[in-house]
Amino acid sequence: MAEGPDVTRIAQLIGDPARGAILSALMSGRALTAGELAREAGVTPATASGHLSLMSEAGLIWPRKQGRHRYFALADDDVAHALETLASLAASKGHLRTRPGPRDDKLREARVCYDHLAGRRGVQLFDSLAGRGFLTINRENVALSQLGRAEIGKLGVDVAALESNSRPVCRVCLDWSERKSHLAGSLGASLFQRVVELGWFHRNVGARDVTLTPIGERAFDAAFPV
């Protein structure tokens, strides 16, 4: 014993129902206020406040003061990645939250994973880029190929700007509903932002699912063919 990172502490924080609900809500990628998160978790503001300060201190979430509100967001995509991995494991072991409502199907089709696209459409995007040779492996993980760098530029994403940033451009994230990879990292975020700008997807306020618009239906398939 006494070697390495303390998995227990992090898992303990995630492993409380109220805190789990809060983190799930933040997986939408939006910053939410303490009150909203309290309602989401089904606890009083007082209780939620305690949870939020614990998780902030642990570095899982990132508090931001703004007027008389305090907004909270996931600290970074490392946290989002860990949560998605746990969700994937839970799904494969059959640990589903009871009462899978009708919204479940919509989530499987397309949803936000922190700041990028997930679900069937997220996997389609990744598969399309990979299948056409836009992505390649480098010593880190996944990276844009020369071909990909040129093609992605045509979609209106400033690749050079992403690469000048310290955040990894490409990361893979295991999709819990599809059990395949989808694209995270700054490129994943930018591509998602772009398809929303283009009006292909519509983000439902306060929810995690996103819907493909009629225009997007054709355009997305054309831009990201499998």
Partner DNA sequence: GAGTCGTTTCGGTAACGACCGAAACATCGC
Partner DNA sequence: GCGATGTTTCGGTCGTTACCGAAACGACTC
- Residue ranges in 118-137 that form contacts with a second copy under rule CB under 8 A: 126-127, 130-131, 135-137
CB of 18 to DNA, least distance (A): 4
Name which of a second copy, DNA, none residue 34 binds, using a CB cut-off of 5 to 8 Å depending on partner kind: DNA
Q: How far apart are CA 207 and CA 117, in angstroms?
A: 14
CA dist 155 and 141 (Å) reads: 23
Angle among Cα 196, 40, 95 to the nearest 5 degrees reads 90
- Alpha carbon distance, N-terminus to C-terminus of the chain: 47
| Residue (40 or 151) nearer to DNA, CB | 40
CB of 69 to DNA, least distance (A): 4
DSSP annotation of 193: H
Distance, CA of 83 to CA of 81 (rounded, Å) = 5
For a second copy, the binding residue among 33, 49, 56, 88 (CB under 8 A) is: 88
Residues that bind DNA (CB under 7 A): 16-18, 33-36, 43-54, 63, 67-70
Report the residue from 47, 69, 96, 217 that binds a second copy according to the rule CB under 8 A: 96
In the bound complex, what is the minimum distance in angstroms from residue 72's beta carbon to a second copy? 16
- Using CB under 8 A as the binding rule, the residues of this chain from 53 to 82 that contact a second copy are 58-60, 75, 78-79, 81-82
| Phi, then psi, of 141 in degrees rounded to 5 | -150, -100
Residue 101's binding partner among DNA, a second copy, none (Cβ under 5 to 8 angstroms by kind) is: a second copy
> Do the Cβ atoms of 112 and 122 come closer than 8 Å?
no
